[in-house]
């Protein structure tokens, strides 16, 4: 029996580990699959609800590191995870995405001579001012198996000197969760509870420091959302970081100035998937949402200068607007009037990426 530890830390990780956990159950006679939750996100709406929605078992190991600066959080995860590796003696550690927990657990595993598999490897924004880009680069450099979601990732890894034998183009595990839970999400009544009809609203997620940590920028974005809300409702489930910044900068009255701009608590996975599929447009700075909207064919307006997921722009429905809020306004209104960019679904985004990964990992461990 081989032991595989899969690490989750932040909200996007849960959607990636859930299908992996299901896939590894097929090999339960030879693979003992354990989930380690670092506790990087510890808010109930950001964590527990996702475990319930995604039908994940309660984590086998919970580290409870909580929030802190990048250095402190990474160090706390490393110290706690080192004990886990020492006790469990895993044959392989699976890390997903690009959060601090991903980097921390990959580093510990590599130094303790445990094989590391990185799911969602090779993605690059080429912007090292983003902490996630540093996490991606370092994690890929020390991983033994690199599972890639889009072909740009293969090219990036080869350019960085990673051997072909380590690289596996398998598709997108985030889409696996979407495909698996799409019908269940359609039974959600969240839109009805919010008084929304299909394609009658914009959906917003914002949390990146470049958008929410500077008062003038955040005020301009809120004004953009208020302008969009003159045409249709705007639903804005607020990330805890963003809510704190709105209050800190004295922008709460501006945010509350229109009944058509609906500020809500974060939603669970199923409710949010329902809202996303039925939205006229997404306005976001999230990486994963760029992928999900591309699969769903929903227009996506991204308030970032770059993206580590270029396939969503090249083939998908994503439009990068950077700091140009006039462009974001123009593209948002076009989308709400049914004149948005059309896209197609990228190669191997078929809901079976996790099955491919589990098969490769099992063969490798045997």
| 3-state per-residue secondary structure call for the chain | CEEEEEEECCHHHHHHHHHHHHHHHHHCCCEEEEEEECCCCCCHHHCHHHHHHCCCCCCCEECCCCCCCHHHHHHHHHHHHHHHHHHHCCCEEEEECCCHHHHHHHHHHHHCCCEEEEEEECCCCCCCCCHHHHHHHHHHHHCCEEEECCHHHHHHHHHCCCCHHHEEECCCHHHHHHHHHHHHHHCCCHHHHCCCCCCCEEEEECCCHHHHCCHHHHHHHHHHHHHHCCCCEEEEECCHHHHHHHHHCCCHHHHCCCCCEEEECCCCHHHHHHHHHHCCEEEECCHHHHHHHHHHCCCEEECCCCCCCCHHHHCCCEEECCCCHHHHHHHHHHHHCCCCCCCCCCCCCCCCHHHHHHHHHHHHHC
Residues in CB range of 363: below 8 A, 6 or more apart: none
Q: What is d(CA 157, CA 159) in angstroms, rounded to the nearest whole number?
A: 5
Q: Could you confirm whether 180 is annotated as catalytic?
A: no
Instruction: Return the bridge partners of 302, or none.
Output: 284, 320
Q: Strands 145-148 and 115-121, how do they pair?
A: parallel
Of 21, 33, 118, 207, catalytic: 207
Structure tokens at 185: 């999400």
CB 150 within 8 A of CB 311: yes
Residues in CB range of 27: below 8 A, 6 or more apart: 358, 362
Q: Count Cβ atoms below 10 Å from residue 67 Cβ, excluding itself.
A: 13
Catalytic center residues: 207
């Amino acid at each position: 029996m081989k032991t595989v530890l899969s690490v989750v830390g932040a909200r996007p990780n849960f959607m990636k580990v859930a299908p992996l956990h299901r896939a590894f159950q097929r090999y339960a006679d030879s693979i003992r699959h354990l989930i380690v939750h670092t506790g990087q996100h510890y808010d109930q709406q950001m964590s527990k609800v996702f475990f319930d929605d995604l039908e994940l078992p309660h984590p086998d190991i919970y580290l409870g590191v909580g929030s802190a600066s990048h250095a402190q959080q990474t160090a706390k995860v490393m110290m706690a995870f080192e004990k886990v590796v020492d006790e469990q003696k895993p044959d392989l550690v699976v890390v997903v995405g690009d959060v601090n927990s991903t980097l921390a657990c990959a580093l510990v595993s590599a130094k303790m001579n445990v094989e590391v598999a990185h799911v969602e490897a090779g993605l690059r924004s080429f912007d090292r001012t983003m902490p996630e880009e540093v996490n991606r680069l370092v994690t890929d450099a020390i991983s033994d198996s690199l599972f890639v979601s889009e072909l740009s990732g293969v090219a990036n890894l080869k350019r960085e000197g990673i051997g072909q034998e380590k690289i596996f183009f398998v598709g997108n595990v985030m889409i696996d969760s979407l495909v698996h839970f799409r019908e269940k999400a359609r039974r959600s009544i969240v839109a009805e509870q919010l008084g929304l009809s299909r394609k009658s609203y914009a959906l917003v997620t914002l949390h990146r420091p470049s958008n929410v940590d500077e008062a003038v920028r955040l005020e301009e974005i809120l004004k953009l959302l208020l302008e969009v809300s003159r045409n249709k409702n705007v639903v804005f489930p607020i990330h805890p970081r963003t809510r704190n910044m709105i209050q800190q900068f004295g922008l709460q009255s501006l945010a509350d100035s229109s009944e058509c701009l609906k500020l809500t608590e974060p939603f669970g996975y199923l409710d949010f998937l329902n809202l996303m599929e039925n939205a006229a447009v997404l306005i976001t700075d999230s990486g994963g949402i760029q992928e999900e909207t591309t699969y769903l064919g929903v227009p996506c307006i991204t308030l970032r200068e770059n993206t580590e997921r270029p396939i969503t722009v090249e083939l998908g429905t994503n439009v990068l607007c950077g700091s140009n809020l006039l462009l974001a306004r123009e593209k948002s209104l076009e989308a709400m009037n049914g004149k948005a960019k059309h896209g197609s679904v990228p190669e191997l985004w078929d809901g079976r990426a996790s099955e491919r990964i589990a098969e490769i990992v099992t063969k490798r461990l045997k």
